[in-house]
Amino acid sequence: MAEELKKGLEGVVVADTRLSKVFGDIGKLIYVGYDIRDLAAHASFEEVVYLLWYGKLPTQPQLNQLQARLHAEAALHPSILQALKGYPTGAHPMAVLRTAVSQIGLNDPDAEDNSQDANYRKALSLTAKIPTIIAAWARIRAGKEPVAPRDDLGLAANFLWMLHGHEASQAEVNALNVYLVLLADHGMNASTFTSRVVTSTEGDMYSAVVAAIGSLKGPKHGGANEAAMRMFREVAEAPSVKEWFESEVKGKGRRIMGMGHRVYKAPDPRAAILKQHAQAICGTSEKCVLLGVAEELEALALADPYFVERSLYANVDYYSAIVLDAIGIETDMMTPMFAMSRIAGWSAHIIEQWNDNRLIRPRGNYVGPVDLAWVPLDERRDD
């Protein structure tokens, strides 16, 4: 008799964790006990990194020390920069990030050291270097020289400095910081689960993070923000948002990218916060025409019985695409930005998995034939 199949492991609990919890029925997210709304309103990304790694908010000296260590680790080794300059300029940025992280691991003589101290060191190094990789690649593929990180800026401001070569506005820095805070962890999502599966085999942190990046790349996970931005541009080309909605969504059954969530059956709290920051940035920017498109499309969906009956609301990808576009992030660079935030959660989960590790080994429900008779090669027929 076949055992009950849980497609996509839906509803299956795979680990105890103290890192984050999604209350999907009421639209609430907490990190180590703190509501995401409070963290988004008050915390720097570095404070959230500390919270996820050490289980508490840092004191000022502890935060200063973390920031100093991140500054010390942010620069890339010349061999990594040289390799980036040799990558195909048409490569997807997530493939570039995956390869560069793998090379960082290749260059680390202690890559196989899975002690807690070594894993914290590697987590710090990757959290510091991933923003530098993303900014460097954005410039390299555009024919520009990378900009070195500074030691007097927070992580969000430093990234925008390395990306654009000039200091960003405070509104842009605030929006990016909030984005990083909101995306840092989210329960046992696909990429986090992937990182824990690799760790459960006693694989090293670099292998686990590279695997997580591969999982995040897919359009049903991290790549959804790219898909949402491309959809907004398509809608903007239509005669009207309502006509696109009626023709494509109601008429052809097209999915609105960034609407609905596997866990949330109430509004995603992260979406509302990002919408506010999109409005704050876009209020004075002519380039933000797509914010109006997104808001009108959301309103149409929220008034439609199909979306209401299924509790389909804008998720984090919907307005994060608008925010990232507004601060100058190219569409295909949006998923790497997700990784830039989620490395905090991945590394925290990897360390947590090591603390109580057991090989993750689910079973499949075999539905194929049994007891087939062996047929010699010369008697086989292609029927």
Phi, psi of 55 (to 5 degrees): 80, 15
Tell me the pLDDT tens digit for each residue of 271-315: 999 999 999 888 655 557 789 999 999 999 999 999 999 999 999
Cα 211 from Cα 206, distance rounded (Å): 9
Within a domain: 360: no
Q: Is 90 exceeded by the pLDDT of residue 5?
A: no
Instruction: Indicate whether 186 and 144 sit together in one domain.
Output: yes
What's the mean pLDDT in 117-139? 98
Cα 138 from Cα 341, distance rounded (Å): 17
> Could you tell me if 34 and 109 are in contact, meaning their C-beta atoms sit under 8 angstroms apart?
no
The predicted structure's pLDDT at residue 133:
98
Q: Which residues carry out catalysis?
A: 261, 317
DSSP state of 6: -
- The number of domains in the chain is 2
Instruction: Indicate whether 229 and 208 sit together in one domain.
Output: no
pLDDT category of residue 264 using cuts at 50, 70 and 90: confident
The predicted structure's pLDDT at residue 221:
84
> Could you tell me if 138 and 330 are in contact, meaning their C-beta atoms sit under 8 angstroms apart?
yes
Instruction: Indicate whether 269 and 208 sit together in one domain.
Output: no
Instruction: Indicate whether 280 and 347 sit together in one domain.
Output: no
The predicted structure's pLDDT at residue 190:
92
Contacts of 133 (CB under 8 A, 6+ apart): 76, 80, 84, 96, 97, 100, 101
Within a domain: 156: yes
The predicted structure's pLDDT at residue 1:
47
Contacts of 75 (CB under 8 A, 6+ apart): 132, 148, 149
297 or 5: whose pLDDT is higher?
297
Cα–chain center distance at 318: 13
Q: Is 90 exceeded by the pLDDT of residue 382?
A: no
Within a domain: 372: no
Q: Is 60 exceeded by the pLDDT of residue 355?
A: yes
The predicted structure's pLDDT at residue 284:
54
Instruction: Indicate whether 249 and 113 sit together in one domain.
Output: no
Tell me the pLDDT tens digit for each residue of 46-99: 999 999 999 999 999 999 999 999 999 999 999 999 999 999 999 999 999 999
Q: Is 60 exceeded by the pLDDT of residue 195?
A: yes
Within a domain: 33: yes
Instruction: Indicate whether 179 and 313 sit together in one domain.
Output: no
Residue range of the domain that includes 260: 224-326
Contacts of 28 (CB under 8 A, 6+ apart): 22, 35, 36, 269
Instruction: Indicate whether 308 and 340 sit together in one domain.
Output: no
Give the residue from 165, 222, 218, 179 showing the smallest Cα distance to 325. 179
Instruction: Indicate whether 207 and 313 sit together in one domain.
Output: no
What's the mean pLDDT in 237-252? 93
What's the mean pLDDT in 202-229? 92
Instruction: Indicate whether 179 and 72 sit together in one domain.
Output: yes
Determine the longest span between alpha carbons in the chain, in angstroms: 77
Tell me the pLDDT tens digit for each residue of 93-116: 999 999 999 999 999 999 999 999
CATH code (residue 271): 1.10.230.10
CATH code (residue 157): 1.10.580.10
Task: Express as a percent the part of the chain with pLDDT over 70.
Answer: 96
Within a domain: 370: no
Instruction: Indicate whether 211 and 228 sit together in one domain.
Output: no
Within a domain: 377: no
Instruction: Indicate whether 168 and 259 sit together in one domain.
Output: no
> Could you tell me if 330 and 286 are in contact, meaning their C-beta atoms sit under 8 angstroms apart?
no
What's the mean pLDDT in 116-142? 97
Instruction: Indicate whether 125 and 211 sit together in one domain.
Output: yes
